[in-house]
Structure 1
Amino acid sequence: MNNIYSQGCLDKVAANSQPLTPINFLNRTADVHPNKIAIIHGKQRFTYQQYRGNVRRLASALIKHGVKPGQTVCIMAANIPAFLDAHYGVPLTGAVLNSINIRLDAENIAFIMDHGECDVLLTDTAFSGVIKEALAISKRQPLVIDIDDVEGPGGERLGIIEYQDLLAQGDENFTDSLVEDEWQALALNYTSGTTGNPKGVVYSHRGAYLNAIGHNFVWPTDSNTNYLWTLPLFHCNGWCFPWTIVAVGGTQVCLRQVEVGAIVNAMIEHKISHFCGAPIVLNMILNADESLLAQLPKNIKAMTAGAPPPAAVIKGIENLGIEITQSYGLTEVYGPCVVSEWKDEWNDKSDDERAALKARQGVRYPTQEDVDVLNPDTMQPVRCDGETIGEIMFRGNTTMKGYLKNEKATEEAFAHGWFHSGDLAVKHPDGYIEIRDRSKDIIISGGENISSVEIEGVLYQHPAILEAAVVAKKDEKWGETPCAFIGLKRGQSLTEQEIIQYCREHMAGFKVPKTIVFSELPKTSTGKVQKFALRQKLKDLFES
């Protein structure tokens, strides 16, 4: 049968098909709003024209230093302008941006550099201590570029050149984008997953583009937006907001440290309209000094994700005049792509009812084709009764390309044509999703994913410990913190503080268990630890 639409003259050509990539957003906004303030950092101000100039200088300078398409450029930095530059300048070269969690220890950083084949490392001198350790044990010898941020504490320079000197070598008129295919890798982000070694999640230009514009469908921003960087830029590329805010011509306000005084003062000084963060950030604001809270701008909008925020926190924050949007996602789906979308018919409900509705994870973004709660055995949707538990699964264009150098994990994650999140949830009669548990035993503390298996692996190395199991314990400040159940070898003795100190010496500080319980571990007939029983024990011990 002839298809009139398959004629040769209707083929894809340069005039009607260009790769979707979020790095094009900057060109458009710099053309339309060249003199508008794009970035604020302390006393520094960068217009969109200056921002684009720095991005082009960065890209051309990296190419001069030998960076080629497909290579990996790592960055470890606070939320500073250089990090925002990197979100455009690195992919402009065709290279892949690997943002490293600033809370990791040297061992994890070295693993990431080796596994991701780091060719260039941009490093904030504030973190030179841990970076120096990582470079000493890494097999890679990347080109190291120091970022000596004017608002930072300083630190030892480890590289061959400082960031501003690198920009001086570049060309602000450089326009040769090396993005030839929207399926090209744009970013590499490591997630702790369920094992000690993190998995490298690969993003495409197409996926990042779509998720960046998807945010604006569910959480509108525009050229009047003043966005505060309370969310770490290393988290899923700042949930794709470095591209979203530029696309609409908003202003990004940098923040080196997530400290309540700095947050609230920045909100007041810069008339912040939008910010993102884990529930712990909301709780910090909620407990700020009342004299500061009284000065907060009105109608601030906050997007939160991570461990589901308690309804009481949502209620308290909204009583301050901050409008909460609850979202949900994972590193593998470019950050949030599910939102608790508000409906006008809920406006007249009580504060408690509104808070409970907002605490649900919600429905898919318009840019994510399919999100559902499925029975993982039958792959059929669960009943919309708010009680039947299934696994949240995703399918669409804002799902990762896959795990770097891990074909087995990628195949398992994409089994039956869906991405399996490992998060257990119910579906309400209105189709809204609500998480009930995390089947992978990941602990989300202050927005950080912590692998219980990794902590257990360290604990098992202690000569006095016979067995260990780690589960999440609810925490008012952090959302969740690790709790370790410990069984000791016969004749051995340890104190809670000795175990915590041992962990501090062998892992990043945020992963260290905050609670130790000495107990025999309940097991199945095959010897598998029954973590559900440990969670119940926690409730009996601390919540009854």
Structure 2
Amino acid sequence: MTLPPSIPHNYTPLTPVSFLLRAALIAPDSPAIVHPERGVKLTYSQWAARTLSLTFGILGTQGWRTGERVAVIAPNCPMILELHTAILAAGGIITPINIRNTPAEIAYILKHSGSRLIFCDSEYQHLLRSNESSSPSAQIIISNDSGGRDDSDPYEHFLDAGHRIWAEAEQAGEKSSMGQLKRGWELIDHPANENAPAALCYTSGTTGRPKGVLTTHRGAYLAAISNAFEAGLGAESVYLWVLPAFHACGWTFPWAVNAAFAAHYILRKVDNDQIWSALLQGGTTHYAGAPTVQIGIVNHGRAERLPRTIRVAVAASAPTSALLSQMEKLNLLPVHVYGLTESYGPVSRRYPHRSWADLSTDDRARLMARQGHGFLTADEVRVCRVPPEDADPQSVALEDVRRDGKEMGEIVMRGNIVMQEYYNDAEATRKTFRDGWFCTGDLAVRHPGGEIQIADRKKDLYISGGENVSSLMVETELSSHPAVLECAVVARKDPKWQEVGHAFVVLRPDHRASEKELQEHCRKHMSKFAVPKFVDLVAELPKNATGKLQKNVLRERVAKLAESAADRQAKSKL
């Protein structure tokens, strides 16, 4: 890329686009894309050329302007990874959309973002509503994920058109400041402002309309550097795409893998059989996913101890001692991270100590459950006291909790890898920032060593008989029962105690446990008021596309149950 002449000699604006170009320069013949479902393999030099054609194709769209939002509706595939570089190189803002969203939700996001250019995988074309999804002038490009092997693939035609524009630009004979003819990526202008928006990722919207999280070139560059470093990615690494690339821009791994000259191994969906093929025969060294995803992987019929250690970034809740033990037996090394869409994905992690080697699995699991310290390029997060309910949060100064592992407060963060703002929502942006710190809504404690540990989300903390109960704490203890595969606890209204816990439990295959037995297990490990009053044994828990538990669905379910119970009680008194 060509820097504007106004840029000082001692400064180059940061952009994650540079990672692909550097990989193509230094490791041109190294594998970049491995897509076994489509029989596609690309080296970094081939992929950089393909991505440049895509960049020119975007620049050549009618009415294109810098700062345009470009929507992407696709599973893990080469297209979505290519667009993470090409859109930014063209001066646009990538807007990846969850393929699990409803057509109505996608219509809202497209309208709110103002996307006039939409790339959509053909498998998810049904999610586009012609009358609602976009403006009448929106251009929609469909991809058959053919890798150039389907002559009718519209996405490949778009790339061909971009390649022609690229050839015409070279023929025009534009010269660089050194008097040489520009070739290839030299024809693309380097972003002049590293703080320009790069990505617009929408939150899940489980408690209302999804919010658009606007992040920058600089933040994406630094977050990718952190993820490559913290994950231990290198030139020999093979990153398996289990985590959806549309989720918070795949935690910046579309750029982090390029920064390490590593290979992207692509799976279009979470299929445990295909995952084990990739682990056993695909050379996989790294992947990322929620504990619920790990549960499916370690309990699959093909599970066996791997000949090499595979590093696994685990977000959301920490792996239980039972899950940790299973992962270790299979040579899967969990790296526990914490973050949000508003922090480009992971922003902190638990750093292990050598002394852990002599501890029991249960003790190590409890230590690993702490979310730890800030990433390489991140500031340390704080845990601050929550303002009284009757106070205006904006008027209350932030005050840190004690480092005793007991006092609970809210996690707040700032720094290089925190979002710029909520797009077109000044009020939501104002409400979520205090004293220049982003308030996450996550409750935690801080231990004497400085590491934080998530206690719960504000909305997942409930009051039973005047006592605060953390649903996460109840879930952690409930999961320690040998028959429990996974579980979730939500609050349920109660006429006597105000709120009580309602647990939903999935048992391990070939294990048996009654509701009463699980409650007795809880009584041995927690206060009486925290023991779930209701326990339902279920076949599965509701989850979104990233494997994240959908507690809003469970809350709706228990609300109906509580309402029915109240009706029955009222009728019995008549």
Common fold: TM-score over 0.5: yes
Q: Which moved more, 1:117-126 or 1:172-181?
A: 172-181
8 A Cα contact 2:40 2:147, kept in partner: no
Cα distance in structure 2, aligned partners of 1:332 and 1:419: 9
Q: Bigger CA drift: 97-106 or 266-275?
A: 266-275
Aligned mate of 1:137, from 107, 122, 132: 132
2:20 aligned residue: 26
Aligned-pair CA distance for 1:415: 1.5
1:438 maps to 2:457: yes
SS at match of 1:188: strand
1:364 and 2:374 aligned: yes
Q: What is the alpha-carbon distance in structure 2 between the residues aligned to residue 477 and residue 54 of structure 1?
A: 47
From 123, 146, 160, give the equivalent of 1:168. 160
Question: Deviations along 1:103-125, whole A, 9 cap, x unmatched?
Answer: 00011000000000011110000
Is the Cα–Cα contact under 8 Å of residues 393 and 418 in structure 1 kept in the other structure? yes
In 1, Cα distance between equivalents of 2:305 and 2:444: 39
Alignment partner, residue 534 of structure 1: none
The reply to whether residue 46 of structure 1 matches residue 65 of structure 2 is: no
Q: CA RMSD in A?
A: 3.0
Post-superposition offset of 1:405: 0.7
Residue segments in structure 2 that go unaligned for 5+ positions in a row: 1-5, 167-183, 388-396, 462-470, 473-487, 491-498, 509-535, 537-548, 567-574
One-letter code aligned to 1:320: L
Shift of the 26–471 alpha-carbon distance from structure 1 to 2, 3 Å rule, reads farther
Choose which of 390, 396, 405 in structure 2 pairs with 1:386: 405
CA distance in 1, matches of 2:50, 2:91: 17
| Residue type of the alignment partner of 1:218 | E
Q: Separation in 2 of the partners of 1:193 and 1:125?
A: 25
| 2:90 aligned residue (90, 93, 98) | 93
**Is contact 1:19-1:180 (8 Å) kept?**
yes
The SS at the match of 1:519 is helix
CA–CA distance in structure 1, aligned partners of residues 253 and 502 of structure 2? 29
1:290-439 pair list within 5 angstroms: 292-294=302-304, 296-377=306-387, 378-439=397-458
CA change 1:476–1:355 in 2 (3 A) is: farther
Contact 1:271 1:297 in 2 (8 A): no
Paired residue type of 2:348: V
How far 1:164 sits from its partner (Å)? 0.6
Given that residues 207 and 399 in structure 1 are in contact (C-alpha distance below 8 angstroms), is that contact kept between their aligned partners in structure 2? yes
Report the Cα distance in structure 1 between the residues aligned to 2:565 and 2:420, rounded to whole angstroms: 39
In the alignment, the residues of structure 2 paired with residue 85 and residue 472 of structure 1 have an alpha-carbon distance, to the nearest angstrom, of: 44
Could you report, residue by residue, the CA deviation over 1:493-540 in whole angstroms, capped at 9, with x for unpaired residues? xxx9xxxxxxxxxxxx977549545214999xxxxxxxxxxxxxxxxx
Q: Is the 8 A contact 1:76 1:102 kept in 2?
A: yes
Aligned pairs for 1:46-65 within 5 A: 46-65=42-61
Cα distance change, pair 233–358 in 1 and its aligned pair in 2 (3 A): same
Matches within 5 A, 1:283-294: 283-289=295-301, 292-294=302-304
Partner Cα separation in structure 2 for residue 521 and residue 391 of structure 1? 35
Counterpart among 268, 276, 287 of residue 264 in structure 1: 276
Equivalent position amino acid for 2:315 in 1: A
In the superposition, relative to structure 1, how do residues 375 and 36 fare at CA in structure 2: closer, same or farther (>3 Å)? Answer: same
The letter for the 2-side match of 1:311 is S
Q: TM-score, normalized by length of structure 2? A: 0.74
Aligned equivalents of 1:184, 1:471: Cα separation in 2 = 46
Paired amino acid for 1:381:
D
Cα drift, residue 308 of structure 1: 3.4
| Alpha-carbon distance in 2 for matches of 1:433, 1:439 | 16
In the comparison of the two structures, how many residue pairs are matched? 452
Structure index of larger Rg: 2
Identity %: 34
Change (3 A) 1:387 1:253: same
- Unmatched 5+ stretches in structure 1: 1-11, 445-449, 453-468, 479-495, 497-508, 524-544
Relative to structure 1, is the Cα distance of residues 345 and 436 closer, same or farther in structure 2, using a 3 angstrom cutoff?
A: same
The CA deviation string for residues 41-95 of structure 1, in whole angstroms up to 9 with x for no partner, is 0121010001101111001011111332100100010100011100100100110
Aligned to 2:142: 146
| Rounded Cα–Cα distance in structure 2 between residues aligned with 1:477 and 1:222 | 38
Which residue, out of 210, 224, 227, partners 1:212? 224
The counterpart of 2:561, out of the listed 515, 518, 522, is 518
Counterpart amino acid of residue 346 in structure 2: P
| Larger mean Cα displacement after TM superposition, 49-58 or 303-312 | 303-312
Deviates more, 1:418-427 or 1:408-417: 408-417
For 1:294 and 1:415, how far apart are their aligned partners in 2? 49
CA distance in 2 between counterparts of 1:144 and 1:402 reads 27
Please report how far the alpha carbon of residue 370 of structure 1 lies from its aligned counterpart in structure 2 after TM superposition: 3.0
Comparing 21-30 with 365-374, which one deviates more in the overlay? 365-374
Question: So what's the TM-score if we normalise by structure 1?
Answer: 0.78
The one-letter code of the counterpart of 2:362 is D
Secondary structure of 2:445's counterpart equals strand
Answer yes or no: is the 8 Å Cα contact 1:373–1:427 preserved in 2.
yes
For residue 441 of structure 1, report the CA deviation from its aligned partner: 4.7
Alignment of 1:247-258 (within 5 A): 247-258=259-270
